[in-house]
A and B are shown apart, each in its own frame.
Chain A
């Protein structure tokens, strides 16, 4: 068949290609063009079909089955070729020592109970957890719990194995042959031994931060677009509320109560230092003076004295209790009317205080 020879047939893809076909003149009408294409196509299909039907076939319920040869047209791959997995440390060791892997039965005869039990897993044979009593030996250290020791040893062995597994995975990752379902993720890098691993944020903490961020707008997040599946903020911060300052009943009195509460709190917190001894003494003295004054009539300081010791008077400390200081310019006109009375005593006192001050 010379026609089949000039076609390139790829039975694996059920594809045929006629590299010599060309139109002598391209027909103007679409129908003619299509008809010519189809007639040419029919020949090509015939070539493939004759190839396929001549292949050895086996009968099946659904129809004759034919084994297709592999495709000859080379097409690119979808993903790179998988790389071979490097041998693990154990595999290397086993190869060097000639250790062969032998299949073991899943179940083992347990002589203690007289039953078949699993080799590993739940309800396994020779389970340490089933041993209620560990007999003491001469070599045992006193004060060591053998059960706790056994658990700790087991834990250590597990950890060691995990470390080895990680090492093998690392070498596999280096060779680019990490299993597709395994990811090696870097956690915090301990540069020195003292550094603690970075704390991972919990879900709640993240939620709180997200809530804060979402309300950090002028409207407090009121008019913001909500994300899909976003939950309302759980612990929304308190907003300041201002009560009316005008006094009244109900809500009007609340403001006063609030400030009173704050005040009393402040005062009570400082109650241990509420007694200022100096002040108390002064007050006592003042009261005493006032009483005496009431008895004797109206006390006053003279104008003369005022002028004389105007500079000193300001410097008189609180310790000296002078009525002139406590009641300055109190009814000056009246003070004028009793010049003689207070002159001697007051001037004397003023002098005394002055000298005292000088001494100090």
Chain B
């Protein structure tokens, strides 16, 4: 026998419904965590990434000794955390002699690892070390601009991959409506060489230019760092194909013969088929015929009665 198990409380049900697959997905959540050993630099990197993504990230501060994303069997607990926290991007920091200040950024699909990229952090400058006019400080949770420059982002495989992952990590929520007054931060990524990327976080100063488009000035507010690409793992081709499916192809089913007009509102076209009058059968209820029959019937019955009576009488 099968038994139907449903949550006891509405709150649990709502929480589960939030996590179910959706046609149009919300922003991906980020899980930030670390291995057994981290350096001072890496701790700051992780906490500042968390600070920048505070609205949509979860920070784990305990040491994790069983997480080795690139090795087989080392991803189980990571996948479990992804399931538990419902996060689909993770940033994992660890340091070792072989790979100092190591940062692994990866994405998951259906709570299984989708792709991975490993970068080393160099020349890190923390947020506190920048001095700037505090009026420029961007609002928390505002949508950032992201700027990539360098031909290596197109020609080198690793950097192409890194670009996609960084875009996903930094872009925040996909929005329909944008408040122009709330804009104020930019991530600038520049490929310096074939394996080195300079990433910095800037504030924007909007200046009048005489047209509706203001003139932009960038002020570095940090953090800034160099990423040195180490290892990377691209997604499986079949998995990639599956993950790239979007609902939009299915959503827009064209509705025929309905149009919208600013003045008249919703308009519909109706096609009336020809009336085939000649072929139409006439109704069988011709009143004239009926009356005739009725009268005939009455007449006949009267005659019959009369005749019968006559017979009886006689």
Contact = CB atoms under 8 A, between A and B. Distances in A.
B179 A186 contact: no
Contacts of A50: 213
Contacts of A49: 145, 183, 213-214, 216
A38 B240 contact: no
B306 interface: no
A147 B198 CA distance: 82
A19 B153 contact: yes
A15 B178 contact: no
A187 B3 contact: yes
B114 interface: yes
B176 A40 contact: no
Interface stretch (A73-81, A288-296, A309-317): A73-81
Given A15-B148, A82-B21, A166 B6 contact: no
Contact of A30 (B123, B153, B188): B123
Nearest to B10: A181
B3 A68 contact: no
B218 A77 contact: no
Contacts of B143: 14
Nearest to B123: A30
A45 B244 contact: no
A63 B216 contact: no
A42 interface: yes
A33 interface: yes
Interface string A1-45: 000000000001111111111110010001001100110111011
B179 A65 contact: yes
Given A64-B181, A189-B1, A82 B149 contact: no
Which interface residue of A14, A76, A187, A188 has the most chain B CB atoms within 10 A?
A76
Interface residues of B, number: 80
Contacts of A46: 213, 215-216
Interface string A146-187: 000000000000000000011001100000000111111111
A16 B4 contact: no
Interface stretch (A54-62, A206-214, A239-247, A276-284): A54-62
B17 A16 contact: no
Nearest to B182: A63
Contacts of B107: 76
Contacts of A221: none
Contacts, number: 216
B2 interface: yes
A297 to B, nearest CB: 94
Contact of A16 (B7, B28, B147, B217): B147
Nearest to A14: B145
A53 B190 contact: no
B109 interface: yes
Given A37-B200, A60-B179, A76-B240, A184 B186 contact: no
Interface in B57-103: 88
B110 A79 contact: yes
A23 B151 CA distance: 10
A76 B241 CA distance: 9
B3 A54 contact: no
A233 interface: no
A190 B1 CA distance: 7
Interface string B238-274: 0010111111100000000000000000000000000
Interface in B171-209: 171, 174-183, 186, 188, 190, 192-193, 198, 200, 202, 204
A183 B13 CA distance: 12
Given A63-B179, A186-B3, A40 B243 contact: no
Contact of A75 (B144, B154, B167, B217): B167
Contacts of A125: none
Contacts of A166: 2, 4
Contacts of A21: 149-151, 190
Given A34-B200, A41-B147, 13 more contacts: A26-B193, A38-B188, A45-B216, A49-B213, A53-B180, A63-B180, A65-B178, A67-B176, A70-B248, A80-B245, A181-B12, A181-B13, A184-B2
17 contacts: A13-B167, A15-B171, A17-B149, A19-B153, A19-B154, A34-B198, A38-B202, A45-B145, A46-B216, A49-B145, A64-B179, A77-B25, A78-B88, A80-B245, A181-B6, A183-B6, A185-B5
